[in-house]
Amino acid sequence: MGFLLFIAGMGGLLYGIDVGIIAGALPYLESTASVAWRLSAQQLSFIVAAVLLGSVLSSLFAGALADWIGRRLAMVLSGVLFTLSIPLIALADGYVPLLLGRLLQGVSGGLIGVVVPLYLAECLHARQRGRGAALFQLLLTVGLVAAALIGLMQANSVEGATAAAQHLDEAARAAAVFAAKDHAWRSIFWWCLTPGIVFSAGALLLAESPRWLARRGRIEEARTALLRTRPADEAEAELREIRQALASPDAPAAPTPADTSSAAEPGATGRAADGPLLSRRYVLPFLLACLILALNQATGINSVLAYVVNILNQAGLSGATANSADVALKVLNALMTIVAVVLVDRKGRKFLLMLGTAGIVIALLAAGLLFRSVEGEQRDVRPMLQARMQSDSLALRLDAETLQSFGAAAGPGGAPVQLTVAYSYGPFTNVQSRRSDDPALPVLRMNREDTVQADSVIGVFFRKLHLNPFADPAEGMNAPLHIERADMAAVPSSAHGWQVMLAMCMFVASFAVGPGVCVWLALSELMPTRIRSNGMSIALLINQFVSTMIAAVFLPTVGQYGYATMFFYGAGCTLLYFLTAAFLLPETKGKTLEEIEAHFSR
């Protein structure tokens, strides 16, 4: 039992690293890739969202794969894919290999997110199932903490290199800071290689799921697997329930000839798995699980965890301080998950979901109001930028001369300011930000080559079908530079940053104690046995699709409309989540999977 929980927990650790590792790496990746590879804000958002997109892709076939090769081998495959993604990312020399590495990492995460909770639900006793799912979430939060600590370590390294370069001339100092940041984000990913190897090797040593074995007619192997985690009498009773649920004309697999003599108990045939797939016993729990999984991501949790360093930088916390706050958030997440582990099988899923979602609504409203208070003080500097435009391009650095021309105080006595510019070439848009207290003072460069993305085979294909979901590069090549928005504002005070940090703490704590744990239980417990693996795949696909969309539009949206808009949107979605938990979700605490299935039949 202990080894099973440890390896399954390691799956949660990898899932947490998948989500959290980009938070510490992104500020350095953004600083170096936007200069060396000339990546746009949209491309950087795609790099963040690629993990989520990869999860969407793998969620399409995760259930079918787990049914085909078994839960154990599917876990092994997910670990191998994660391990292979690390060198692909860390050695990337351009946008495409970096994007492909992140996609592969996401494919691994999608498999883990379906197969590990499925494996736990099918292997653990009903009274331990909540604790097992909570342990998966706990190790997920430990993965987030580990990712944040790695990010903090590299942030301190970058700050040390920046301080050591202060005596150099401007060009040499900029080169030294660039090299330190480039090394930082690559090192952050290299640190993640070991957990992938441990999980892959450990999964090879696990026993197969007893319910998967029973569906294949391998009854004795299923009995042996059950005996690993429960007493003999409980194992026999649960095996009878499993066989009764499978004893119907449309069950996925029939017992082998050797087992037909010990068929299910009288009255078992047709009891639990017969009936059309569109009957309420299948449709209602499936739709409810899909709704909960979608709303779980609509809170914005993955984007907040991925962009938290950027959010805190924008709120007024700079450098290693924001990374330290990130570590504190991830530790709080882990501690509150321990609280959830204790409570989930005592208070139940419904109570924790209502408690957690109510706290999230309050936290997101507070964060939105805090950002609205500073975003309302931004000053429009579009006329100054348009005066500097040369043909269809513009380049500037926030040095003392530029700040003076924009009417901002320059020099040691002036408060640091941030310039945010949203611009477009026809249908191609980009958003860039620069701060005057950045020691490297990178150039803000707006030109057609960096904004208009090259055509792709996929884009050409869709345009031939007249679906046209992608912008046509020909339109961007002929359109003039249009500055849609250019705002300058003082960087918020550190006091404001810590207020936002408190709101983020409440958000993360509320999520950890409620949705963080309960979502995995909703995913695995609500689905009937007949559709569990494929139903979980579809529900997680919806979950990751929502998460991908939010992550992909996050940077462009906050650049155009501010952080307050994103937080208010998340609060509205979470209010709907609270109502769903209060009025639609049944309590599943202490019930076997077959008892939960029978509830929806009634």
Separation between Cα atoms, residue 237 and residue 494, nearest integer Å = 60
* Tokens matching residue 326: 């990130």
pLDDT value of position 365: 96
Q: Where are any strands of DSSP class E within 321-414? A: 379-380, 394-396
Please state the separation of Cα 401 from the chain's center in Å: 42
Residue 448's domain comprises 379-493
Is 275 contained in some domain?
A: no
Is 320 contained in some domain?
A: no
- Domain tally for the chain? 2
Contacts (Cβ under 8 Å, ≥6 apart) of 502: none
User: Residue 431: enclosing H or E segment and its boundaries?
Assistant: strand 428-435
Select from 262, 279, 306 the last residue of a domain.
Answer: 262
Separation between Cα atoms, residue 290 and residue 467, nearest integer Å = 28
Is 134 contained in some domain?
A: no
Is residue 176 within 8 A of residue 32, CB to CB? The reply is: no
Contacts (Cβ under 8 Å, ≥6 apart) of 409: 403, 415
Select from 202, 235, 262 the last residue of a domain.
Answer: 262
pLDDT value of position 362: 96
CA-based torsion, 314, 98, 476, 56: positive or negative:
negative
Is 11 contained in some domain?
A: no
**Residue positions counted in the chain:** 602
Is 96 contained in some domain?
A: no
- Say what the alpha-carbon torsion angle 224, 520, 100, 304 is, to the nearest 10 degrees: -150
pLDDT value of position 455: 53
Separation between Cα atoms, residue 585 and residue 568, nearest integer Å = 25
pLDDT value of position 508: 93
Select from 493, 519, 536 the last residue of a domain.
Answer: 493
Contacts (Cβ under 8 Å, ≥6 apart) of 210: 122, 123, 221, 222, 223, 225, 226, 239, 242
Give 10-residue mean pLDDT values along the chain (602 residues). 73 78 76 69 73 77 84 90 90 84 88 82 70 72 80 82 78 81 86 87 84 82 79 79 64 38 35 56 83 90 82 82 84 86 80 93 95 86 84 83 76 71 84 78 81 58 49 78 86 90 95 84 72 76 80 78 90 94 80 70 68
Is 331 contained in some domain?
A: no
pLDDT value of position 194: 84
In sequence order, which ranges of 471-531 are alpha helices (DSSP H)? 473-478, 494-513, 515-525
Q: Say how many Å lie between the first and final Cα of the chain, rounded.
A: 34
Is 182 contained in some domain?
A: no
pLDDT value of position 129: 64
Separation between Cα atoms, residue 350 and residue 357, nearest integer Å = 11
Is 571 contained in some domain?
A: no
pLDDT value of position 260: 32
